[in-house]
């Protein structure tokens, strides 16, 4: 095999998309009470959500090991890697160290690791973009340049039904979270150079949902050239409804929908929605 695309399992992708671009996922792990879950093809998301909701203990996630990445880099001459934002996880550093380990012993191999500056469906869009450029026979350095430009331009936003896990993980100010809970305020958050930022506070979910859609038009452009991705946590109908609203309001080239993996679910929680474009 000449080319290979590798991502961590925070990349939310359908099996069809995964097969279409020959995407190989490096499993991340989740610890919940006395259990450890490997987020791979055998991971049962429904079972995990049930246990997470019943548990009084906050689940913890762990990045893959260096060896996990080394194992995935094999069997291809040119390897492109996409990881969750380096501001959110040590996964990017593990991928880089694996790259340096392999290239220290092999001279005729190409590996490039992209920091997605995002997560979830954002990683998916980047992987799809890499595949598009490979199909168009671009050289490796051209792919790196164009994908880096794509990452810089990409927007990621999320709207959560429940913010407890995000707060307990230290990724959201607890004072903001407490005020939001008391006042029935829903938070629209986004990515700011790979870190989570608060975009807006909106009272009530329905208003927040509509505002979520409006922000796309305010922050994006050239939609006819772009794909928008939606990742959902156990709320397919909500995701499909969002897709229809966006489709009727904006002229995106395509809109894709995927269920969240265990990693994104841990932070987004039941009912969470992430979009990227």
Between helices 66-73 and 91-103, what is the axis angle to 10°? 50
Cα–Cα distance, 229 to 124 (Å, whole number): 8
Return the H-helix or E-strand segment holding 160.
Answer: none
> pLDDT for 40-85, tens place per residue?
989 999 999 999 888 888 899 999 999 999 999 988 999 999 999 9
Tell me the average pLDDT across 166-192.
Answer: 71
Q: Which two tokens stand for residue 194?
A: 């790979």
CATH numbers and ranges of domains, the chain: 3-153 (3.40.50.10170), 156-276 (3.30.1180.10)
Tell me the average pLDDT across 3-10.
Answer: 97
Cα–Cα distance, 117 to 130 (Å, whole number): 16
Q: Residue 155: what are its φ and ψ, rounded to 5°?
A: -110, 140
Q: How many CA atoms lie within 13 A of 272 on its CB side?
A: 28
> pLDDT for 218-242, tens place per residue?
999 999 999 999 999 999 999 999 9
pTM across the whole model: 0.93
Residue 10 pLDDT exceeds 80: yes
Cα-only R_g, the chain:
18
Cα–Cα distance, 147 to 143 (Å, whole number): 6
- Average pLDDT over the chain reads 93
Q: Poorest-confidence range of 71-85, 190-204, 248-262? A: 190-204
**Residue linked to tokens 């996409």:** 82
Q: Is 149 helix (H, G, I), strand (E, B) or coil?
A: helix
Q: What share of the chain has pLDDT > 70, as a percent?
A: 93
pLDDT at residue number 162? 76
pLDDT band at 182 (very low <50, low <70, confident <90, very high): low
For residues 154 and 122, is the Cβ–Cβ distance under 8 A?
yes
pLDDT band at 170 (very low <50, low <70, confident <90, very high): low
């Amino acid at each position: 095999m000449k080319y290979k695309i590798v991502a961590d399992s925070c990349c939310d992708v359908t099996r069809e998309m995964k097969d279409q671009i020959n995407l190989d996922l490096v499993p991340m792990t989740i610890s919940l009470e006395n259990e450890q879950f490997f987020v791979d093809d055998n991971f049962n998301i429904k079972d995990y959500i049930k246990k997470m909701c019943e548990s009084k203990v906050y689940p913890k996630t762990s990045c893959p090991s260096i060896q996990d990445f080394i194992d995935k880099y094999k069997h291809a001459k040119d390897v492109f890697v996409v990881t969750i934002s380096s501001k959110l996880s040590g996964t990017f550093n593990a991928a880089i160290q694996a790259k340096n380990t392999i290239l220290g012993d092999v001279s005729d191999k190409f590996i490039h690791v992209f920091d997605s500056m995002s997560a979830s469906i954002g990683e998916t869009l980047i992987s799809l973009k890499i595949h598009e450029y490979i199909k168009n026979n671009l050289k490796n350095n051209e792919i790196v340049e164009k994908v880096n430009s794509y990452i810089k331009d990409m927007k990621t936003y999320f709207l959560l039904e429940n913010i407890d896990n995000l707060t307990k993980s230290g990724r959201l100010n607890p004072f903001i979270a407490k005020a939001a809970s008391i006042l029935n305020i829903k938070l629209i958050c986004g990515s700011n150079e790979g870190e989570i930022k608060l975009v807006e506070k909106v009272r009530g979910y329905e208003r927040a949902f509509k505002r979520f859609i409006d922000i796309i038009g305010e922050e994006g452009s050239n939609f006819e050239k772009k794909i928008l991705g939606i990742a959902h946590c156990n709320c397919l109908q909500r995701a499909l409804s969002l897709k229809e609203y966006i489709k009727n309001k904006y002229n995106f080239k395509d809109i894709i929908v995927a269920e969240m993996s265990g990693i994104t679910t841990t932070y987004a929680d039941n009912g969470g929605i992430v979009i990227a474009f």
